[in-house]
Structure 1
């Protein structure tokens, strides 16, 4: 993988730990320039489980000349180990895994990545064309949502070889409730502060509701490239006293800071924050994007149109005006996550898919 941050990082760490616990020899290659102290601490705690070791290699987010040296470093790491499977996560990690994987089983999980782009844009055209080229070098496609599979088929090509959908999962301990702080705000956002996540839509929705006389408060947890823009937007909207930017925090610590988690994203794959908050029993109001509907199941009709501050404002108002139904929806979401979105089920699904792809190679 490239950047050890966010849901992709959590997925890789959980999967690696679960595979190692089942007796498999596992190693990780990740970018050396991102993740900071938190990633370093997580890796330090995981090191003893990584029989094949950990390599931190500088990897740029965008395409560039540095990819050549990074790719060679990944290839050297793989060549030094007895590796049967090379599993690439995200667009850049997936590219390195398939280009450097040689004759080993090459597995790809997009985690959104290039699939967030449109072929009608210059950048999207380049990335999606590269995805099509690399698809021919892929033995196993693992999608974390049915949405991801359908998006790949529509934007890139129909994936060949072995194809599986294996949902992300959370651990049993995450189903414990998180007590709210005394200063908890009405609303809570947790995630990377960038345009794709829709924080601007949330700020506009809050401004609309306050204009109607509803004195809402919100806490925004996270950091990212557009953090300054969102802070300025809140100030310009006169929300400096209503919207608090708390910086990056662990998810369960952040859950104590708000009564209703809002996920106003313009695009997603299968976001962990929805699984984590839902498991903890925190009410969740989310956009109808990506695989979020797969998590909500029968309650997917409660999801909100992405990018609309009016729709989001109306949904927030409805959730706050009917607390009994909001709590009931949260309880149903928690039960659904507990039944079908566990770390154990995720690990078993991935390992079963590896086995099926290896068997297909032997048979073919």
Structure 2
């Protein structure tokens, strides 16, 4: 099968959607399919190469407006590249436009990763195109049932939506080098909280920092927080932590090597995902932490995050943008080792349903159903 994935960025650009596409495309190629990924280049030149058995076409970029790279070459490539199935990853408006213009007669799948949340002006003009793109698609993949019901756009297309959760390399996170784990514990201290992710506005780090200050003032817990990742808010949040007097308790590592990441999960006592907006649609980092046997404290933003983390079973879910509730949930788990271990064990079991292999199976089966239906 000839499969074409369409989005704005790809590895080595780091992000949840980019990582998802890379893993999905790589595994599809390993199963014998001809897989191409079409994205925009970081430069003004079109680049064509191969990575992990996947053909990667990076179309020359002209400009970058409101988180959206613009490329004329992208449209040209969309019309040239052959495919039995086009798999678009939303949100990326030029991708939907290019498919509507050049994808006539080609079966189309859209993975709806997230609503457009922050760019209200863009959404005002984009809404008609979005609705047309969703109507044109043969099937729409939602990453959780919660998102179908909470998205004002997906609700109108329930009949063509199918839930396929994002997949994680469970085995990679289920174990870690003990020496690396102990080194992390010695470096940062304990009890240890962990956050992993791109440092964007919707990650809710300011509320977690405030929760750390609350814990310092209201409990005897000498908790430490390690924030793994980089992004546009990193400098501002580093400064915020300093101004709040959290030096020695909150540590920003920047981006770490993939090989070391499992050790961070195994070194922590619990994982925290304090998302503040529904741009956080799923939270694969929760699954990575669960695969390591760690309970999760997350927030309710009306998306799949609280479908992944089951309140009272695999961790605790608290209201978004509520530092006091975050602090109380963290305190509850840190003070009760038995509860922490029980939730961690259930989390490890729960993580298995989000394996990469299961996700790839479901996506390929969906392609085959679409192709069979059209003869």
**Alignment TM class, shorter chain as reference:** 0.7 to 0.9
CA contact (8 A) 1:61 1:92 kept: no
Say yes or no: does 1:107 pair with 2:109.
Answer: yes
CA contact (8 A) 2:296 2:316 kept: no
Q: In 2, Cα distance between the equivalents of 1:143 and 1:222?
A: 26
Q: In 2, Cα distance between the equivalents of 1:332 and 1:3?
A: 35
Q: In 2, Cα distance between the equivalents of 1:135 and 1:232?
A: 42
The verdict on how the C-alpha distance between 1:48 and 1:314 changes in structure 2, with shifts beyond 3 A counting, is closer
Say yes or no: does 1:49 pair with 2:53.
Answer: yes
State the 1:255 CA deviation.
2.4
Match of 2:262 among 235, 238, 252: 252
Q: Which residue of 2 aligns with 1:223?
A: 230
Match of 1:311 among 322, 325, 348: 325
CA contact (8 A) 2:213 2:246 kept: yes
2:294 partner SS: coil
Say yes or no: does 1:356 pair with 2:354.
Answer: no
Q: Which residue of 2 aligns with 1:27?
A: 36
Q: In 1, Cα distance between the equivalents of 2:199 and 2:217?
A: 25
Number of aligned positions between the proteins: 343
Q: In 2, Cα distance between the equivalents of 1:301 and 1:177?
A: 20
The verdict on how the C-alpha distance between 1:236 and 1:127 changes in structure 2, with shifts beyond 3 A counting, is farther
Cα deviation 1:195-214 (Å, max 9, x = unaligned): 20000000000011111244
Match of 2:198 among 192, 199, 205: 192
Root-mean-square deviation (CA, aligned residues, Å) is 2.7
Q: In 1, Cα distance between the equivalents of 2:98 and 2:32?
A: 22
CA contact (8 A) 2:108 2:138 kept: yes
Cα deviation 1:205-236 (Å, max 9, x = unaligned): 00111112443221111111111221121111
State the 1:256 CA deviation.
5.1
CA contact (8 A) 1:8 1:111 kept: yes
Deviates more, 1:281-290 or 1:314-323: 281-290
The verdict on how the C-alpha distance between 1:161 and 1:315 changes in structure 2, with shifts beyond 3 A counting, is closer
The verdict on how the C-alpha distance between 1:346 and 1:141 changes in structure 2, with shifts beyond 3 A counting, is same
The verdict on how the C-alpha distance between 1:14 and 1:61 changes in structure 2, with shifts beyond 3 A counting, is farther
The verdict on how the C-alpha distance between 1:198 and 1:158 changes in structure 2, with shifts beyond 3 A counting, is same
CA contact (8 A) 2:148 2:154 kept: no
The verdict on how the C-alpha distance between 1:337 and 1:62 changes in structure 2, with shifts beyond 3 A counting, is same
Higher strand proportion: 2
Q: Which residue of 2 aligns with 1:280?
A: 292
Q: In 1, Cα distance between the equivalents of 2:330 and 2:85?
A: 45
1:303 partner SS: strand
Say yes or no: does 1:347 pair with 2:360.
Answer: yes
Higher helix proportion: 1
1:351 partner SS: helix
Q: Which residue of 2 aligns with 1:232?
A: 239
1:228 partner SS: helix
Q: Which residue of 1 aligns with 2:76?
A: 76
Q: In 2, Cα distance between the equivalents of 1:155 and 1:117?
A: 15
The verdict on how the C-alpha distance between 1:321 and 1:314 changes in structure 2, with shifts beyond 3 A counting, is same
CA contact (8 A) 1:162 1:357 kept: no
Say yes or no: does 1:262 pair with 2:272.
Answer: yes
The verdict on how the C-alpha distance between 1:284 and 1:355 changes in structure 2, with shifts beyond 3 A counting, is same
TM-score by length of 1: 0.85
2:141 partner SS: strand
2:334 partner SS: helix
CA contact (8 A) 1:129 1:156 kept: no
Unaligned runs of 5+ in 2: 1-6
1:285 partner SS: strand
Say yes or no: does 1:62 pair with 2:71.
Answer: no
Unaligned runs of 5+ in 1: 35-39
Cα deviation 1:268-326 (Å, max 9, x = unaligned): 21211011111111332111232123223472782111110010000010010001111
